[in-house]
């Protein structure tokens, strides 16, 4: 059942966070759905601008509508991650997405509001909801890059939300895109989340760049010929704390790439005579499903799908 992120957030707020997982291909899609169904968790499938151009946007959209038929027990949103205005408008017209993120955070404050407002108006007219971003995460995500953190300023959030009408807000609190999120004594700025929640009580907040970059995965990749040095991610035990502070959506992308890389490096290292990519693909789907199951337990979303479905249906009566 495809629903909006707004519907998911209404059930999750203050209790747990929903995993928002980026996918790019069939194997990721199958592993993602199997892991979420097995853990009985509502979830968000994220399709980025880069994913849409990796194969073809219609291919990914067809995977989403097909998965909805194959897994009728799944409750999920189909979400555009880090879209520019043009991509948001295209996704709004597609009839597949239930929410979009407009990332105009690289522009000055007033320009961010102007662009976000146009996307919100277009999305709301079609029954979609919109995530916006205030502040910038360090690192590179699609066409957006920032050399340093630009933390969200709590004093701006009331004005920004009121003038744009956005349905959720991505806050910059110290996470980064990619596998190298922290250095030195850098840590998550929960104090910023606390201030934002005070100013926007009950309003859904989002944490981007929240992969945990498991050291075990990195070590196994390196042992199989990789060269990923100094990678460090978010402490997944902090997800519940973030959820209590209004974070209803936590974005996880890098971890899935690490699982994919580890499975394929180890398989072809151990079986150098093999060339059938379906064999490691099968292994990956199971390994990724296991990863999703474990992540949902940490997020608190496991075993919530039945209650979430009932809540959403009750709100439509």
Element (H, E) at 116: helix 109-125
CA-to-CA separations, 228 to 51, 78, 176, 255, 316, in angstroms, rounded:
23, 31, 16, 13, 48
CA distance 71 to 39: 13
Beta-carbon count within 10 A of 313 CB? 12
β-partners of residue 138 are 176
CA distance 96 to 58: 10
Determine the distance from the C-alpha atom of residue 53 to the mean position of all C-alpha atoms in its chain, rounded to a whole number. 18
Which residues lie closer than 8 Å to 275 by C-beta, 6 or more apart? none
- The residue assigned the tokens 């890059």 is 145
Active site residue 81: yes
CA distance 49 to 267: 30
Q: C-alpha angle with apex 34: 28 to 35, nearest 5 degrees?
A: 85
Q: Which of 68, 81, 103, 273 is catalytic?
A: 81
Active site residues: 81
């Amino acid at each position: 059942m495809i629903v909006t992120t707004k519907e998911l957030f209404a059930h999750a707020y203050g209790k747990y966070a929903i995993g928002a997982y980026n996918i790019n291909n069939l194997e990721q899609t199958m592993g993602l759905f199997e892991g979420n169904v097995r853990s009985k968790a509502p979830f968000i499938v994220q399709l980025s601008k880069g994913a849409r151009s990796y194969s073809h946007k219609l291919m990914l959209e067809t995977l989403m509508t097909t998965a909805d038929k194959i897994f009728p027990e799944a409750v999920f949103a189909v979400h555009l991650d880090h879209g520019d205005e043009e991509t948001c408008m295209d996704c709004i017209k597609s009839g597949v997405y239930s929410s979009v993120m407009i990332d105009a955070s690289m522009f000055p404050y007033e320009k961010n509001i102007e662009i976000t407002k146009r996307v919100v108006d277009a999305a709301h007219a079609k029954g979609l909801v919109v995530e916006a971003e205030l502040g910038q995460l360090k690192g590179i995500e699609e066409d957006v890059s920032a050399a340093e953190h630009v933390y969200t300023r709590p004093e701006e959030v009331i004005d920004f939300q009121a003038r744009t009408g956005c349905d959720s807000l991505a806050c910059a609190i110290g996470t980064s895109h990619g596998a190298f999120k922290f250095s030195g004594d850098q840590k998550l700025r929960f104090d910023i989340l606390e201030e934002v929640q005070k100013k926007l009580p009950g309003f859904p907040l989002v944490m981007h760049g929240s992969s945990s970059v498991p050291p075990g995965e990195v070590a196994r990749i390196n042992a199989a010929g990789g060269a990923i040095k100094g990678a460090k991610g978010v402490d997944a035990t902090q997800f519940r704390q973030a959820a209590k502070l209004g974070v209803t959506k936590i974005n996880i992308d890098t971890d899935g790439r690490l699982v994919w890389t580890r499975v394929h490096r180890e398989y072809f290292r151990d079986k150098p005579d093999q060339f059938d990519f379906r064999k490691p693909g099968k292994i990956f789907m199971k390994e990724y499903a296991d990863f999703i199951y474990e992540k949902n337990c940490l997020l608190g979303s496991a075993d919530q799908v039945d209650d979430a479905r009932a809540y959403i249906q009750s709100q439509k009566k």
